[in-house]
Amino acid sequence: MRMLAVFALALASCAGSDVRQDILRSLEKGLVAAPEPNASEAGAAILRAGGNAVDAAIALQFALAVTFPNAGNLGGGGFMLVHTKDGETSFDYRETAPAAAHRDLFLDAKGDVIPGMSLDTAKAAGVPGTVAGMALAHKRFGSLPWERLLEPAIRLAEEGWTLDAWSARSFASQRRNNSADYLTGKAGERFVQKELAATLRRIAEKGRDGFYAGETARLIVEEMKRSGGIIALRDLARYEAKERKPVEGSYRGHRVVSMAPPSSGGIALLQLLNMLERHDPPLLGFHSAEHLHLVAEIEKRVFADRSEYLGDPDLYPVPVARLTSKEYAAERAKPISPAKKTAPGDVTHGALPREKEETTHFSVVDRWGNAVSNTTTLNGSYGCGIFVRGAGFLLNNEMDDFSAKPGVPNMFGVIGREANAIAPGKRMLSSMCPTFVFKEGKLWLVLGTPGGPTIFTTVFQVIVNRVDFGKTLAEAVAAPRFHHQWPPLGKDADPISFEKPPADAVKAALEKLGYAVHVRGRIGDVHAIEIVRAVGFHGERAVVPVGACDPRGMGRTASE
């Protein structure tokens, strides 16, 4: 232990004061980085009880449904990326369209999209996947009993937890549908959720059948009938989470593994990295006009490909290998000029053979080197704003992630075409991007973020900040972010959005190129872990997980 303490002090001095405490707490132990402190502690408690990273992730997921209801959920879905000694796999627990859904579900008699119908009504809800996803992950990798993993969430719901100021303000802002009946309380008060506790108990006792059959399923269908939704008992009974092979590529010698379709995040991330790899960002200068312009040009092309080629791989042949190849990246990057901006109207998808931003993410590593990167969502903040009465949880509004009408933007300004049209049983396209980065063949970074279409651009920036600009993990996560996408959002011809205003000279240079500079709210809420492999003065080795929670949110690390 004395040798490990020396490592800790040495690493703390070079990693920056922001992560000093995390390093000292995390020696020879697992680590959790999550968006809400109670949920972080729930995951860490499972690690302390001898559970592995997947066990902790399952406990964390259910705890977030209690303490972070704007995005943590039972009534939504997501993607889990898992690393073990045998390699990587992933679990797709994305929601699906009910059997009664059809291509024109959100169109009026004239064929126009009905405003708000895919966001604020019960028809916006896809068949939830979260419980099935956790059950499948536990079946494959769980080591502790299923019911033990739900104990922290049940306790938080039954006994309550103290509302923090952020949650109290967030609750007060929600007055859609019946959400105001459930989201009540002031900062400092105890928030108790008896109905949700009962639902969690049914899941603990019966597994997936505690949600997709029996009392909970009956309550969901009753809410559908009451609120005008279309999820039926047969939709719940037929839902399946799926294990999928992740996508992978490389960036400057680092192996990068991320989520495959129906998430666009992994493919988009690899495309961004592949095109940037042809350049040397440090020579341009961090967030210089040249750097920002180069990334914006790359992002235009990635979003154009996303709209044309990506959808549910079970129903549409997504050309993964071609999209993620270095050769394709070279073709797409050829027209990029350092002195000229490509007009949005001149950007199309490449030639190939024939998410409001309220998602949430957490990362987990355990003492054995297993890791989980998990991103989950209701889509918009608090989903469609409808609680299942008697069951105490919110329903998603993920149906908005389909192309309600091919070529018409969704709530994030992202368009889709035939590959993402609505169809019964189909999974809607996502931008979620849980990611692993490997260095010299060993796991190095575990990361992800919420943020709708800014998800993969955020993960991209954190990786580039760490790899190219040499920032510590904490610095890479905290650094100001920007976002650009195609087609443009709003009235401006070609906007770049910044969290903080760029320097006057940078702003002037971008405007001279033809960009509109916007300042917006925060971009993303990254929760990341870096595996530091250190060598001591006498050749001793230590493996230290270092957590970094985004200063934009209220997340916290918790160790075993």
DSSP string, 140-189: HH--S-HHHHHHHHHHHHHH-EEPPHHHHHHHHT--STTGGGTS---TTS
- Hey, how many other C-beta atoms are within 10 angstroms of the C-beta on 183? 22
Of 289, 274, 288, the C-alpha closest to 460 is 274
What is the C-alpha to C-alpha distance for residues 185 and 142, in angstroms, rounded to an integer? 36
Of 328, 320, 374, 432, the C-alpha closest to 141 is 374
Of 317, 97, 67, 314, the C-alpha closest to 200 is 67
Residues facing 363 on adjacent strands: 33, 373
- Within 8 A by CB and 6+ apart from 318, the residues are 261, 267, 309, 310, 311, 419
- CA angle at residue 105 from 451 to 417, to 5 degrees? 55
- Within 8 A by CB and 6+ apart from 523, the residues are 451, 454, 458, 481, 482, 483, 497, 499
What is the C-alpha to C-alpha distance for residues 331 and 271, in angstroms, rounded to an integer? 11
CB contact at 8 A, 17 and 40 = no
- Within 8 A by CB and 6+ apart from 106, the residues are 113, 114, 117, 118, 123, 399, 404, 405, 422
Of the residues 96, 359, 377, 458, only one is catalytic, namely 359
Burial of residue 488 (number of CB atoms within 10 Å: 0-12, 13-18, 19+): middle
Q: Which two tokens stand for residue 8?
A: 């800790």
- CA 281 → CA 221, 251, 467, distances in Å? 53, 13, 10
| Host H or E run for residue 541 | strand 541-549
Per residue, what are the HEC states of 342-377? CCHHHCCCCCCCCCCCCEEEEEEECCCCCEEEEEEE
**Residue 360 among the catalytic residues:** no
CB contact at 8 A, 196 and 393 = yes
- Catalytic residue ranges: 359
